[in-house]
Structure 1
Amino acid sequence: MDLSRYQFTFDPRKKGLRKILGDLEADVMEAIWALGRATVHDVLERLAAADRELAYTTVMTVMSRLADKGLLEKRKDGTAYVYVPAASKEEFTRRTVGTVLSELLDDFTAPAMSQFVDLVGEQDDAAIEALEKAIDERRRRADSDV
């Protein structure tokens, strides 16, 4: 999955995927990740079951735009299109977090690292140990590349 085609806005006030996707985009992606592959009708039914009443054309437009952005793959199946996620939710999350952190580090290296360390320090000891382990692992990889 190539996120370079996907331009997103990061809104730290929102929760979960809504930080980077619109509300309806997030709901559609959650539905498709849960289903694995889905038609517009499948997603519409799933959203309706969650008390989200929407027009078929609204869901179709959102899914088509998500495909245009590279988040979904659109495949012809008979007379309908079937959409599949271009990446798992975990992979999408990992790559998006990587993009956000990379952009922060490009422009604000020292304050971004300082804040990150402070925030990890506010977590439990396991979070600090995980960060130390990740740093050690990265150093070992860098040493083996030399």
Structure 2
Amino acid sequence: MQVANTLGELERAVMDAVWDAAEPVSAYDVQDLLEAAGRSLAATTLLTVFSRLEKKGFVTSDRAVRPYRYSAVAPREYHVAELMHEVLGGSRDRTAVLARFVGSVSDADAVTLRQLLRAEDLRG
């Protein structure tokens, strides 16, 4: 199943750099980060990726400065949660998918899920 908001490998690497940054980043900042991780890319390639990510709504750019600085529109957790919702929404049997998911999480994650569900019950 292809999820519409799925990031390609390079887009994901760029978004990971953006999400991990404490402040907006330029293509050159990301170029340095990726190079330190053993991946050498041209700045023009990264600018193309940023352009695609901006069109997809993942980043916003500050064009008042040079070089342009990019920020994530939403945190990584939001993106991952949206992917989970999208995959679940595409299922014919949501209960079976949820049961499989819950049955496969670690004990620590199960405790966290229970706590989150209890907190949600208290609010609602």
Task: Please indicate, yes or no, whether the TM-score normalized by the shorter chain is above 0.5.
Answer: yes
1:132 is aligned, of 76, 89, 114, to 114
Structure 2 match to 1:63: 50
User: Over the residues paired in the alignment, what is the CA RMSD in angstroms?
Assistant: 2.4
Where structure 1 has 5 or more consecutive residues not aligned to the other structure, the ranges are 1-5, 9-19
1:46 is aligned, of 3, 25, 33, to 33
CA shift, 1:110, in A, is 2.9
Letter in 2 for 1:7: A
The answer to whether structure 1 residue 29 and structure 2 residue 29 are counterparts is no
Query: Would you say how many aligned residue pairs link Structure 1 and Structure 2?
Result: 121
Looking at structure 1, the residues matched to 65 and 116 of structure 2 have their Cα atoms a distance apart, in angstroms, of: 47
What TM-score do you get using the length of structure 1 for normalisation?
A: 0.67
CA shift, 1:78, in A, is 3.4
Looking at structure 1, the residues matched to 20 and 111 of structure 2 have their Cα atoms a distance apart, in angstroms, of: 32
CA shift, 1:58, in A, is 1.1
What TM-score do you get using the length of structure 2 for normalisation?
A: 0.77
Residues 130, 32 of structure 1: alpha-carbon distance in 2 compared, 3 angstrom cutoff? closer
Structure 2 match to 1:11: none
Letter in 2 for 1:60: L
CA shift, 1:72, in A, is 0.3
Q: Secondary structure at the match of 1:113?
A: helix
Structure 1 match to 2:59: 72
Residues 129, 52 of structure 1: alpha-carbon distance in 2 compared, 3 angstrom cutoff? closer
Structure 1 match to 2:103: 118
Q: Report matched runs for 1:5-16 at 5 Å.
A: 7-8=4-5
Residues 102, 140 of structure 1: alpha-carbon distance in 2 compared, 3 angstrom cutoff? farther
Looking at structure 2, the residues matched to 113 and 65 of structure 1 have their Cα atoms a distance apart, in angstroms, of: 33
Residues 56, 117 of structure 1: alpha-carbon distance in 2 compared, 3 angstrom cutoff? closer
Residues 63, 113 of structure 1: alpha-carbon distance in 2 compared, 3 angstrom cutoff? same
Q: Secondary structure at the match of 1:80?
A: coil
Identity %: 31
Residues 139, 7 of structure 1: alpha-carbon distance in 2 compared, 3 angstrom cutoff? same
